[in-house]
Structure formats: structure tokens, C-alpha cells
Structure 1
């Protein structure tokens, strides 16, 4: 099945760009993301595995670990083009830019948010 056929089948309209109500609905519900135990457990485990002594983890390393644990993981399944947007939307992690470029995250439970 071609990509646009699959998108139309799940309710997306294509006008040169893809407009998908399913993605918008998923994107708008923070509680749903936070209650998805597989997503939350995977992100937390990956962040812990990539963390330095201060608890900060390079987001790209977290993404790599997440894909190793859950090969079907893709932030687009949650309505986000980038992992950083999904992580921010869960509101479970502090997100900061790294001095060397990129982003770093830390579980808010570790240091009181």
C-alpha cells in the first residue's frame, strides 16, 4: 500500500501537505501521553541509561536507546515530528540546550522538577 493511501485510510486529508485529525487529537492530550505506561517507562529507562552523574542525558542518545528497546517507537505516532517536542509535551522531563549543541533532558522526579 502506498503512503498516501495508508494516510487516507486512517482519516488524513492530503492537500500537498498532510492534515490528520488523529495526530491533532493525540497531540492535544498530555494526560494520555503521561498515562501510556509503555511510552513513559521507555522514555524514563532510556533517559536513566543515558544519564551522566548529574542526571542529565543527551536527547539523541535517549532516542537511540528508545529505538533499541522499542523498534516500533516513532514520535510521529504521537503527532510530533521530533522527539524533543514529544518529550516536552509529556511534561515529565526538564529540557535544556547543551553547551555543545543539541538538547539534554532530566527526569523531573529526580530533582523536584
Structure 2
């Protein structure tokens, strides 16, 4: 993948992506109405794309792409150098999997939650 493509994907992720945990596993996801970009993520990193919102007369159809565990870490490692707003979250996500289960992981989960409620700039 080219640096230009990674920069594009990182910019998209900065605006639309989410880093968290699910069932004790690292989770990276993007929800959006533009499925082709989610398909770019899937082609590059694997994962699944599912309908997020079926849409109705007031809302648009939206999709969610997600990956877990080692694949989620791989995504973050690839795009982290290009992230601006979500850089600190990506850093925590990358290192989350290296921690033993228990209080250290819990502290990282709490820090991710705090970072999601604030805005960061380099």
C-alpha cells in the first residue's frame, strides 16, 4: 500500500473511526454511508462489513467495517503515523494487546474512553 493511500485511510479514520475494546479484545471500526471506502479498508486489512442502519425516510443507509485483535492492531500500526486527532487513542490501542489481562488493560480501556470524550491536536 502506498504512503498516499495510508494517509487517505488515516484521514478518513480520524474523522469516522473508533478504537475500543469488545469482550477484552481490541476493536477498530468505522461507520459510514460511503461503502466503497470501507471496502478499501476491508481489502487492505480484512475484517467484516455489515449494515449499521438500514435507513428510512429520515436516515441514510450506513455500513460498519470492523476488525478485532491482531488485525485491529495491524490497522493501527499502519495508519498511526498519519493520524492527527486519534493518534493518542491509536497508541493506546497498539499497546493494549501487549498488556496482561487485568488491571493494566482496564486502565487502558478507561484511558481510551477518556480520550474519546476529548479532542487532541499534535
Bin for the TM-score computed over the shorter chain: 0.3 to 0.5
Q: Provide the TM-score with structure 1 as the length reference.
A: 0.38
More strand by share: 2
Q: Which has the higher contact order (CA 8 A, sep 6+)?
A: 2
Q: Provide the TM-score with structure 2 as the length reference.
A: 0.36
Higher-Rg structure is 1
